[in-house]
Amino acid sequence: MSYYDRTKTEEYLLSLLDGKLSINLEDVRKMARREETPIVSDTGAQFLVQMVKLTNPKRILEIGTAIGYSGLLMLLSSNAQLYTIDFNERALQLAKENFDKYAVSSRVRVLPGDASLIIPMIEGSFDFIFLDGPKGRYYEYLPYLKKMMRPGAVLLADNVLYSGRMSGEESVPRSKQTIADRLDIFIKEITTDSDFITSIIPVGDGMCLAVRK
């Protein structure tokens, strides 16, 4: 389902995929459409799977479970343990059903609640972090996420271009200005932090890829 304004570049990338993702979760994608739940874009899903396969993580942290689509992509691409956070009870129930359906529940720990309260309490380090929660709070999470990342760990944040609003290609409505301002803080902090090697990847609604030095 599309929840962002596609650019011509994104349309071109989608045409190359031709609807063929490396992991077929069409039933979960249909559920997302039925529930009107945003999920990672097709190009973003393909990139996420590639990154997980490249890094072969043992422990993954996900902020933004939704109905479990991105979690399944990561679990079916690795043998990792997934810790996933969301506050939406309805979405989490559907996510648990999807994890059961694909027989990966034994590798999932669902953490219900506000990520800003849960993240500081999580112990241990992670090899891979997928940040796909509220965009306006990414900058709040970053200091805690950084501490959880061992050298070589990867942080992948979705929706960082915010439908062209961050580049100025599209204007920012007054109702979205606070989110855009806070997302700008996150982008500037992570791209200027000397402890990270960071790139902004223009797939989907934009992905930020940061590797901990």
> How many beta carbons lie within 10 A of that of residue 183, not counting itself?
26
pLDDT bracket for residue 4 (50, 70, 90): low
Q: Give domain status of residue 142, yes or no.
A: yes
Q: Give domain status of residue 190, yes or no.
A: yes
SS3 content of the chain, % helix, strand, coil (to 5): 45, 20, 30
Q: Give domain status of residue 79, yes or no.
A: yes
Domains in the chain: how many in total? 1
Q: Give domain status of residue 3, yes or no.
A: no
Look over the chain and give the mean of its residue pLDDT values, rounded to a whole number: 94
Q: Give domain status of residue 2, yes or no.
A: no
Q: Which tens digits make up the pLDDT trace of 12-35? A: 888 888 777 889 899 999 999 999
Q: Which tens digits make up the pLDDT trace of 29-75? A: 999 999 999 999 999 999 999 999 999 999 999 999 999 999 999 99
Q: Give domain status of residue 1, yes or no.
A: no
For residue 187, give the CATH number of its domain.
3.40.50.150
- Residue 77: domain span: 8-212
- Which pLDDT does position 1 carry in this prediction? 46
Is 2's pLDDT higher than 60? no
Burial of 172 (0-12, 13-18, 19+ CB in 10 A): middle
